[in-house]
């Protein structure tokens, strides 16, 4: 599978940094200092999890489909000085 899209949820941690998890790919947990770093780590973790599924002959989660075009909807933080 050349590339797949999975949904992740990123939460800001009280102690600082961010945590990414996924309902699509159970076991995906990634923590980083910034949102960008957290996404990058989550991509690496997802790749390793998917490779493990394939290596062991386990079926991939049914939500996981090959990317055929996509739209990303997200929220971004914006600092406003009022």
Reading the chain (82 residues) residue by residue, the pLDDT tens digits are: 567 778 899 999 999 999 999 988 889 999 999 999 999 999 999 999 999 988 999 888 755 566 666 667 777 778 888 7
pLDDT reported for residue 3: 73
Cα(39)–Cα(67) distance, integer angstroms: 18
User: What domains, with CATH codes, occur in the chain?
Assistant: 4-66 (3.30.160.250)
Cβ neighbours for 43, distance < 8 A, ≥ 6 positions apart: none
pTM (two decimals)? 0.77
- 45, two tokens: 């973790």
pLDDT reported for residue 42: 95
């Amino acid at each position: 599978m050349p590339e797949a899209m999975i949904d992740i949820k990123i939460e800001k941690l009280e102690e600082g940094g961010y945590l990414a998890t996924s309902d699509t790919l159970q076991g995906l947990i990634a923590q980083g200092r910034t949102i960008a770093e957290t996404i990058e780590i989550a991509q690496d973790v997802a790749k390793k999890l998917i490779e493990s599924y394939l290596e062991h002959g386990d079926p991939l989660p049914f939500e996981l489909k090959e990317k055929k075009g996509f739209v990303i909807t997200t929220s971004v933080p914006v600092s406003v000085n009022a």
